[in-house]
Structure 1
């Protein structure tokens, strides 16, 4: 059964069918040919969407769209540029920091690229940076978003792997900060070697204070979100709703740039993105159910545990598997298919579920930068109109901090587990 399922899936994938169609059609064919009721297709697909944590997905997308419509991203970029503009390679460093700040609002790599990419690349090109470097740094920095809360991939992983979404979101904070620091160190090294320029901005203290005042409501959004999670007053869904309300209020009453047309545009963007994600969620759940029916998770668990009972060795094996999977599967689909198979085996071997969740998501975010299914690569080519080969050349140096972060998170469980244990007692 599983062999037929995977074969049909791969054929459809090679033919270029959308990932949701590959998952759903292959599952439906196997269900029908093995004499199972056709109603199972609808039942399993709909049951996968009957999940409270998944309500946070469209809400976070909507909040990011609203804040982007208010022009918040421009204010954030200008503020951080004023503060850090005098160091060598300043605009590149600013791009990384703004990606970290905006990741506390958007929760998705592609949202970060869509909101910040054009601004970041334009500023770097104006300072004389090579376009390949600017594009590569932008897509590399966007991987911070899905690790730092709120994170749509983490919320989806938590719902699939039966892990506390709140704890897993908090578990991503330290790894995201470490990844930010490593990317900044990489840029500092390149800046010294390539003699990258210092920024030409020379603001007065008054200018910085005024821009900080303007940006304060936007900077408060991640604080509100993380504070709500840590305090226990809100779960991911409630925090997402509060973030939407906050984004609407500051857009209308503080920045006064959020119009009815802007809200309608944000709703349209949210509906489109949510439909794409949830279509994959429902069909991947059906695909995973067929695999479970054939006892694939149990077989894989037995195989992994037969190879080694050392948690670190198993994590390294899973890292290799996920890096390969990330090259050919969209990240949400990969989480929904692979997590139910891998998570029970590694948890049984002693890997902490929080550490595994962060390792899982970080692997797949690196996959966004690898062809042939590197969605971040394709999105930045649309923004810059550069050939994808040049974009890949620009991103190659930044695989060093990305892979180093992955190795450290895999080797040191405390990076993922310490903060949730401290704050959630």
Structure 2
């Protein structure tokens, strides 16, 4: 009855439109009252959930991403991608994917990627004769690069929820799956462009390509500084995030000279709001997960999955289906914090490495950002592109298929996500 009350209260509040963090908190309080547990324990769990040193990196990553969004880095990355792949048939679709791979790997945010690149590329694609739904679809789905390719603050949440596994290994583990996913999306974008008869752009020449690369180098170095500092052992994740944010200020204000005081103020404000939401969510989810553990939910779920089948391949397939379904109806950060303590023991029991499972979870839940009814990236992309959600979803299936292909390869070929982390051991 206690578990039913906990989950029923949470789902009921979600349906009523209560924000996820508050729904988790209220459901947790209801569970503690039902069990007769002192509420100060819930308060302690909330505080312990956010009193983790690694979480200090999140506000720095978010702030750095906002600075790059406001300071002109995105526009220069788009110019570089256009010079490199724009001459291919339907080249602006590939430019979109390549830009997302570059910018998402720097900002670490799929929603920021959708907003920034969508605002730049969608008007150009419309002017060049691309259908609005195609522009939205390729922009929205390619933004998932920000979730998988490091640095990603969602990976930090997973590392904390998983009991403190190596963030640096998670970062490097996402490189190959992220590139693989972008390659699959590039193929889908190309095939759809050929089918619809979109034309290619003129190659601007090697001199322009080289110039675009040189101009984009200061922005690209942001990701190298953040990820390289962690992998080299010179800096912790938190220190690399702080250095990355400082470097982003220097580049956007002194090198590119596009970061005005008003843009800086907007970056600070948006970073504070986003960080506050994330920390409230982390604290409430930590207390919620305490009750899930009290009710032995991980053990019950493991028993249920193994009852259906004891084949690891089948269990992995069932897990992917469950995560995909959950990703369609809940916020990604909340799901990471709730599902990791539940599913990770099951994965370890069938021999799946926690690092690989982290990447599988990033890709699964990331896809939920592009699916109705609560896909944040889908909503932002449709607003920026001026397209109805139903019109975008009607033609987005080739891009969903591309992401699923990359997901299945990452799931069933462990070397894709584990080779690079194993090399740094």
* 8 Å CA contact 1:305, 1:349 repeated in 2: no
Q: What is the number of equivalent residue pairs in this alignment?
A: 423
Q: Which residue of 193, 214, 233 maps to 1:191?
A: 193
Q: 1:174 — aligned with what?
A: 176
| Matches of 1:105 and 1:20, distance apart in 2 | 27
CA-CA distance at 1:308 after TM superposition: 3.6
1:63-82 deviation line (CA, Å, top 9, x unaligned): 01111221111111112212
CA-CA distance at 1:204 after TM superposition: 4.6
Unaligned runs of 5+ in 2: none
1:30-62 deviation line (CA, Å, top 9, x unaligned): 212321112123211111001112111111110
Unaligned runs of 5+ in 1: none
CA-CA distance at 1:205 after TM superposition: 4.3
Q: Which moved more, 1:373-382 or 1:126-135?
A: 373-382
Q: 2:372 — aligned with what?
A: 371
SS of 2:235 mapped into structure 1? coil
1:328-362 deviation line (CA, Å, top 9, x unaligned): 11111111111101101210221111111111111
CA-CA distance at 1:85 after TM superposition: 2.2
| Matches of 2:400 and 2:220, distance apart in 1 | 29
| Matches of 2:311 and 2:180, distance apart in 1 | 25
* 8 Å CA contact 2:110, 2:145 repeated in 1: yes
* 8 Å CA contact 2:93, 2:190 repeated in 1: no
- Report matched runs for 1:20-419 at 5 Å: 20-162=21-163, 163-200=165-202, 203-419=204-420
| Matches of 2:322 and 2:310, distance apart in 1 | 17
* 8 Å CA contact 1:305, 1:345 repeated in 2: no
* 8 Å CA contact 2:105, 2:145 repeated in 1: no
CA-CA distance at 1:230 after TM superposition: 2.2
CA-CA distance at 1:325 after TM superposition: 0.7
* 8 Å CA contact 1:104, 1:150 repeated in 2: yes
| Matches of 1:84 and 1:75, distance apart in 2 | 15
* 8 Å CA contact 1:134, 1:394 repeated in 2: no
* 8 Å CA contact 1:104, 1:145 repeated in 2: yes
RMSD, matched Cα? 1.5
Aligned in 2, Cα 1:242/1:198: closer, same or farther, shift over 3 Å?
same
TM superposition score normalised by structure 2: 0.96
1:113-143 deviation line (CA, Å, top 9, x unaligned): 1221111211211110000010011000001
TM superposition score normalised by structure 1: 0.96
